[in-house]
Amino acid sequence: MLKLDLSNATPFLPEDWLTSRLDALEQARTMLAEHNGPGGEFTGWVRLPVEYDREEFARIQAAARKIRSDSQVLVVIGIGGSYLGARAVIELLGSADHKLAPNAPEIFFAGNGLSTDALADLMDYVADKDFSINVISKSGTTTEPAVAFRIFKALLEEKYGKDGARGRIYATTDAHKGALKGLADAEGYEEFVVPDAVGGRYSVLTAVGLLPIAAAGIDIEDLMAGAAGAMETLSWPGADNIAWQYAAARNALCAAGKSIELLVGYEPSFRFFAEWWKQLYGESEGKEGKGLFPASVEFTADLHSMGQYIQQGQRILLETVVRFAKSRREVLIPHDPDNVDGLNFLSGKPLQFVAEQALRGTLLAHVDGGVPNLVLEAQGRDAKTAGELIYFFEYACGLSGYLLGVNPFDQPGVEAYKKNMFALLGKPGYEDQRSALEKRLNG
């Protein structure tokens, strides 16, 4: 299980940072367990690692096997909560080309933006490949994935005919309603469900994340087992619960004037996990003028760019470092008889040793520079640990949002841009807003 080391954060915290929050944490725990706090109707994720639809889980595994057998590429179409979790896990556990197992297809993500060039490049790439599509949208009406789906569906139908394409399209959407649900029913696509009680950013352990993750060759039983273990451990109340500690420390540091939390990873493959985390905390807490701004850095690369600011810029930062105890492989630093670079004192040492000293040295330097450091230690980069990390951050986010006094499960702020975009696109019903916006934009 994960470990949380707060020894490099406590010097920045008042003595009662945890004890003064225990009652509020217990209330938050109860609200999550009983689904009766603000947004309680979206807390179906709390027991998801053990209470999930086994029949659908088996269908996910079967669909993933089929995709692995008939596709060189899986195009996963979705945005936000319908995108980031799958990419986070696939990249964390994989390598740069996302191939995790023999016969696993390459996984590409589309519909997570509106870049013409990115989409066109992917269209070119799949043109001479066997491919399938997993289109994911809870509402079924989000513009970016809907547009991308139109395009890739047309490509697939052109290549395999309407019937052939039908067997290569997997739709993950609401169980009852929405445009995608209607289309999937009408066309006879295989369907998977985004449960009503699970919002996008908490949906990685539903079919939203599980189908692409399984198609990539990752053992989703291990992923769920890791999450279930974390759920069991973190559901117990008490000051030694690391989710309680993390939520309380963030809350206390925010109260003490910190306003930005940097999630720090030392693995390039962690980058999208940090993107997932940013959505989780940003959408859950960034409302009513509250919340730490979630950002991320990748060390040691960013020590050579953002390192300066972290060390000496505005003292508004805290860092949460996710550290993996073991690298999967070992690389030894070779001996060089000429020693021109003066590095022979490292000859024969594992690169991991160097990385470890970089982490330790950075941590102390940043603490000396006034940046509290919380260190979350995970074991290897494997499916079980990924499940633990997901559940830990989700559960701590629920607690943390309630401590902050917001509804951690809504996202009213994301509608503003959509309304403007629809008006500017000329969507029927938005005529008045359109002329007002055009007037503002054209001066």
Task: List residues binding ligand PA5 (CB under 6 A).
Answer: 79-82, 137-139, 142, 145, 199-201, 283, 411
Q: Which of 283, 298, 388, 394 is catalytic?
A: 283
Query: For residues 261 and 283, which CB has a smaller minimum distance to ligand PA5 in the complex?
Result: 283
Query: For residues 22 and 197, which CB has a smaller minimum distance to ligand PA5 in the complex?
Result: 197
Q: How far is the CB of 406 from ligand PA5 (least distance, A)?
A: 15
Query: For residues 6 and 146, which CB has a smaller minimum distance to ligand PA5 in the complex?
Result: 146
Query: For residues 178 and 307, which CB has a smaller minimum distance to ligand PA5 in the complex?
Result: 178
Query: For residues 139 and 344, which CB has a smaller minimum distance to ligand PA5 in the complex?
Result: 139
Q: How far is the CB of 192 from ligand PA5 (least distance, A)?
A: 13
Query: For residues 414 and 436, which CB has a smaller minimum distance to ligand PA5 in the complex?
Result: 414
Nearest to 42 by CA among 400, 402, 409: 409
Q: How far is the CB of 139 from ligand PA5 (least distance, A)?
A: 3
Q: Which of 418, 419, 431, 438 is catalytic?
A: 418
Nearest to 264 by CA among 226, 318, 327: 318
Quick check: is 283 catalytic?
A: yes
Q: How far is the CB of 137 from ligand PA5 (least distance, A)?
A: 3
Quick check: is 34 catalytic?
A: no
Q: How far is the CB of 112 from ligand PA5 (least distance, A)?
A: 9
Catalytic residues: 283, 418
